[in-house]
Amino acid sequence: MNWEDECYLLSKRKFRENANIINVFSPSKGKISGLVYGGNSRKIKNYLQLSNKLHIVHNSKNDNKLGYFKTELIKPISPLFFNDKERTSALVSICSILNVLLPDSQPYKKIYISLENFINAINFENWIILFIFFELNLIKDLGFDPNLDKFNQTDLVEDIIKVKIDNYTYEIPKFLILKKLPNKLSNHIIKKSLYFTRNIIQNKFFIPNNLPFPKSRILLENYF
């Protein structure tokens, strides 16, 4: 099975002395694993970084065996933020969550577009707000709709609304219910927002399947 596509790097692990097994997220193939020979060489290792955009050529004798990737860098992402702990944590979190929750070989074009839109906007001043909405959209695209519209019944006065969703009680910032992008948020509201989306993701996807939750995502909250 031979094909090629653009993709984002979700994970990598060492395989033998000079190779890596990587997971990538492609718009046409979804999450795909492949073997990269020479992955520990200086040239390739420098760009096999989480969230980097790659061009891959996939070769495999059949669909039931691990294929081989030839990789080229399209656009560096994570190296641009080595000195930015907040954005780095966000990128690692996204890659880790997608790597765990996306099934193999199933295209999720909507999630791919949402991911690409966020990455293209990560330099914006309001990037963390876009991150929060990315997670909300991801929750829906993975099959659970918290249906926040039903809580927008009257004039919302308080900045934080306490609601019950599927037997869990959550504190939801008002702007998420109103679906309005504010120009700026206090760190308190940002943290509450991150806590809300994280708890939904944990309660609906990670805890029922006994999956370990990425530490980078929890760390992100502590920066606000």
CA dihedral 199, 200, 206, 207 (to 10 degrees): 70
Residue from 108, 146, 128 nearest 193 by CA? 128
- Tokens representing residue 187 in the block: 């760190």
Given 33, 63, 78, the domain boundary residue is 78
Q: Is residue 174 classed as helix, strand or coil in its secondary structure? A: helix
Range of the domain at 63: 3-78
Counts of helices then strands in the chain (DSSP H, E) = 7, 7
> What pLDDT is recorded for position 25?
98
Local mean pLDDT, 10-residue blocks, the chain (224 residues): 93 88 96 88 86 94 81 94 95 98 96 97 94 97 92 72 91 88 87 97 97 96 95
- What distance in Å separates the CA atoms of residue 52 and residue 45, rounded to the nearest whole number? 12
- Tokens representing residue 26 in the block: 């492609």
The verdict on 202 and 127 lying in the same domain is yes
- What domain count does the chain have? 2
Q: How far is CA 160 from the centre of its chain?
A: 25
Given 78, 94, 109, the domain boundary residue is 78
The verdict on 35 and 118 lying in the same domain is no
Instruction: Assign residue 72 the CATH number of its domain.
Output: 2.40.50.140
- What distance in Å separates the CA atoms of residue 38 and residue 68, rounded to the nearest whole number? 11
The verdict on 117 and 179 lying in the same domain is yes
The residue type at 159: D
> What pLDDT is recorded for position 185?
87
The verdict on 110 and 65 lying in the same domain is no
The verdict on 29 and 106 lying in the same domain is no
> What pLDDT is recorded for position 214?
96
The verdict on 195 and 176 lying in the same domain is yes
The verdict on 57 and 96 lying in the same domain is no
- What distance in Å separates the CA atoms of residue 196 and residue 205, rounded to the nearest whole number? 14
